[in-house]
């Protein structure tokens, strides 16, 4: 029996992953505003199969924009450049962690589907 997206959301939250079920398009986003992993889970309507997708491009674009903003604001406004620098460091750290998190989430889903 395949898991539903609601069950996946509950399972991931129990395991400590911030998961949000979105109704349109119907998918589960894993991560929060402060820790976005670039991972989303969709369910095939016909087969019920879960598909995990990984979008590191979002994180890469965010990193580039933040670094650009840091360079532009550096020297003009110390508080703004410090805030942008800290945010960029956080996004870079999330990018580095996101691959490992994707593998962990795949393992959780695989274990849950095998135990059912």
pLDDT value at 106 more than 70? yes
pTM: 0.69
CB 55 within 8 A of CB 38: yes
Q: How far apart are CA 17 and CA 32, in angstroms?
A: 9
pLDDT tens digits for range 44-85: 888 888 888 887 777 788 788 888 888 888 888 888 888 888
Structure tokens at 81: 């450049």
Averaged pLDDT, 23-42: 80
């Amino acid at each position: 029996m395949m898991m539903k997206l609601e069950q996946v959301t509950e399972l991931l939250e129990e395991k400590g992953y911030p998961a949000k079920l979105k109704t349109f398009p119907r998918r589960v986003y894993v991560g929060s505003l402060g820790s976005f992993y670039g991972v989303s889970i969709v369910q095939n309507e016909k087969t019920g199969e879960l598909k995990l997708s990984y979008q590191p491009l979002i994180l890469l674009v965010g990193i580039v924009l933040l670094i650009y903003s840091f360079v532009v604001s550096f020297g003009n406004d110390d508080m703004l450049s410090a805030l942008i620098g800290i945010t960029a460091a956080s996004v870079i750290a999330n990018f580095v962690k996101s691959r490992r998190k994707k593998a962990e989430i795949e393992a959780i889903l695989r274990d849950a589907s095998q135990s059912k």
